[in-house]
Amino acid sequence: MSLLRLYHGSEKKLETPQFGLGSPRNDYGLGFYCTEHLEMANEWAVRNGNDGVSNEYRFDATGLSVLDLNGEGYTILHWLAVLLQNRIFDIPAPLAFEARAYIVETFPVPYEKADVIRGYRADDSYFSFAQDFLNGTISLQQLERAMHLGNLGEQIVVKSKKAFNRLEFVGAEFVPAEIWAPARDARDAQARREYFDIERNRRQPSDLFIATIIDEGMDAHDLRLRP
């Protein structure tokens, strides 16, 4: 990960993204959320149903601290631990409450120290898959497969002020909502359909559920948690 072409979908052109702005309740906290795929940025740009803009940047990550949550040494539970510290989850049952505490404590990630983070995107449907795992409805293996439904892809988050200074604005492209809002809805609907029709009922005898992970004290060194 060195020289990248990044896209950011927004309601307006952003020639100079401002460090420290945004919502702390995004997947990885405060940061500038980007993608390497223009079509994904186009969907982001119209998420409120209005026309938007896809901003393009050149980004040189050379010498920066990059945390790749999908890289070697990390499991999907590390990604979930970060998500649990930032997003607001519905924790209605005792198991989900216990699962949240266990995952955050057992799979800590020093994500705030990173200049850049690469990891899954937790759009609405994918966020609901994570909640199903916490509630014990689906297994770890089912969650891992579900994250690939709908070709959601990864996101790259520019976190530090040092990293913000590496963003070089290239240009902006108008994104019509009449085209990209239906495309976004269709992708989300496809992911949910595949999940409920196939993945949610695809449990295997060797699958690991959160209750077993907690009861057996599994941690990041346990090979059973590796894909």
Chain-centre distance for alpha carbon 85: 13
Tell me which residue range forms the domain holding 100.
Answer: 3-225
What is the DSSP code (8-state) at residue 18?
Answer: P
What radius of gyration do the chain's Cα atoms show? 18
The per-residue pLDDT for 156 is 95
* 185: nearest Cα among 150, 153, 154, 156: 150
Q: Is 164 exposed, middle or buried (0-12, 13-18, 19+ CB in 10 A)?
A: middle
- What tokens does 93 get? 């049952």
Per-residue pLDDT of the chain (227 residues), as tens digits, is 678 999 999 999 999 999 988 888 888 999 999 999 999 999 999 988 999 999 999 999 999 999 999 888 899 999 999 999 998 877 778 899 999 999 999 999 999 999 999 998 877 667 788 888 999 988 999 888 887 765 567 899 999 999 999 999 999 999 999 999 999 888 888 877 877 776 666 767 889 999 999 999 999 999 999 87
Q: 165 and 64 in contact (C-beta within 8 Å)? A: no
Q: Is 84 exposed, middle or buried (0-12, 13-18, 19+ CB in 10 A)?
A: buried
Please count the structural domains in the chain. Answer: 1
The per-residue pLDDT for 200 is 64
Beta strand segments in the chain, E = 3-10, 32-34, 52-60, 66-68, 116-120, 154-158, 167-175
The per-residue pLDDT for 137 is 87
205-212 contacts at long range (C-beta below 8 A, 24 or more positions apart): 207/139, 207/140, 207/141, 207/142, 208/139, 208/140, 208/141, 209/136, 209/138, 209/139, 209/140, 210/95, 210/99, 210/133, 210/134, 210/136, 210/140, 211/95, 211/136
pTM of the predicted protein model? 0.89
The per-residue pLDDT for 65 is 96
Task: Give the whole-angstrom CA distance, residue 5 versus residue 70.
Answer: 19
